[in-house]
Amino acid sequence: MNPYLSVLPEIQSALDAGKPVVALESTILSHGMPYPQNLEFGRKVEQLIREEGAVPATIAILDGKLKVGLNEEELERMCRAEGVGKVSRRDVPVYLAAKKPGATTVATTMLIAEMAGIRVFATGGIGGVHRGAETTMDISADLQELAHTSVAVVSAGVKSILDIGLTLEYLETMGVPVLGMRTNDFPAFYCRKSGFSVDYALNSEEEAARVMKAKWDCGMKGGMIIANPIPEEYAMDSDYMNGIIEQAVRESVEQGIKGKKITPFLLARIVELTGGESLASNIQLAFHNARCASRIAVAYSKL
């Protein structure tokens, strides 16, 4: 047993019984939305997962523990985000040792989910290869985690602030399957299409569960991306968003913003430049992914 792992009894009971559980990250709460909108979102996304027949497991680092599932007080604490850091894989031991509160990124959420035995994780969009990475070497730890950690990640593709083509090339090199949920087009977060294709199109959540089982039954380590496009009614125009993103990226370069600070800066600036429209889309795509992930988890539990 991992002495640092703390799993809510409800979640542990579900895992012991082979019932469906869906992991959720906490960075979107602490660093992606303002309070109290993030608290409302955190409660709602867990409710949607329950309505689909699965158990939600919001993951964070608190009081020297890897928390799998948060009670109401802990959820409030993460949403108020007072002194809460953004924790990727390399930061985990420091935050545990110092008992500092940390919000988990995609990479860290995957890591902790696998420790707990959770196979499905719903997020907004994964990290990837940043624009200009051929000189900055700015590549998200999410991609390495996908290569080595056996969790299926349901997302609306990768964040459109990234170099999507290079991200997909990197995932291919690392042997990570990129599957489209009822689509051949790889989505770009706010937009339904990126101009790139997925490796394979899935016709149903049940098919996704069968692919997961086949991979892991063969002893093949690593995760997979299940790309779930934002619903049509909440999607944003590609040309409009590309212009906004290019402006935000220029500003980040001019201000010398780098490393783990760049994604929160870009997303916040995009919200400002779109008059809040991008945040509304972000929330809806996250809800959509939670529903999809829950159905996959239910189907996987039956196998």
Sign of CA dihedral 189, 192, 195, 199: positive
CA distances to 13, 70, 86, 289 from 9, in Å: 6, 11, 26, 25
C-alpha triplet 271, 184, 196: angle, nearest 5°: 60
Question: What CA–CA distance (Å, rounded) separates 258 from 263?
Answer: 9
136 pLDDT above the threshold of 80: no
Indicate whether 130 pLDDT > 90: no
- Predicted pLDDT at 245: 85
Direct distance between the N- and C-terminal alpha carbons of the chain, in angstroms, rounded to an integer: 26
Rounded distance between C-alpha atoms, residue 128 and residue 168, angstroms: 9
Say how far apart CA 118 and CA 49 lie, in whole Å.
14
pLDDT of residue 266: 83
Catalytic residue, chosen from 52, 159, 205, 260, is 159
Q: For residue 131, is pLDDT > 90?
A: no
Cα 143 to Cα 134: distance, rounded to the nearest angstrom: 16
Which pLDDT belongs to residue 77? Answer: 98
- Ramachandran sector of residue 253 (left: φ over 0; alpha: ψ -120 to 50; beta: rest): alpha
pTM: 0.93
For the chain, the average pLDDT equals: 94
Q: Is 159 annotated as catalytic?
A: yes
pLDDT of residue 1: 67
Q: What is the pLDDT of residues 153-183, one digit of tens each?
A: 999 998 777 899 999 999 999 999 999 999 9
Mean pLDDT, rounded, for 98-126: 97
CB 30 within 8 A of CB 74: no
pLDDT tens, position by position, 260-293: 787 778 888 988 999 989 889 999 999 999 999 9
Task: Give the 3-state secondary structure percentages of the chain, helix then strand then coil, rounded to 5.
Answer: 50, 20, 30
Q: Return the CA Rg of the chain.
A: 18
List pLDDT tens digits, range 213-242.
999 999 999 999 999 999 999 999 888 988
Percent with pLDDT over 70 in the chain: 100
Structural domains of the chain, ranges and CATH numbers in brackets:
5-302 (3.40.1790.10)
Distance CA 268, CA 145 (A): 25
- Can you give the pLDDT at residue 242? 86
pLDDT at 278: 87
Longest dimension (CA), the chain: 53
Chain mean position to CA 217: 24
pLDDT at 258 over 90: no
Residue 259 has pLDDT above 80, yes or no: no
**Is 19 an active-site residue?**
no
pLDDT tens profile 71-105: 999 999 999 999 999 999 999 999 999 999 999 99
Catalytic site residue from 25, 46, 74, 205:
25
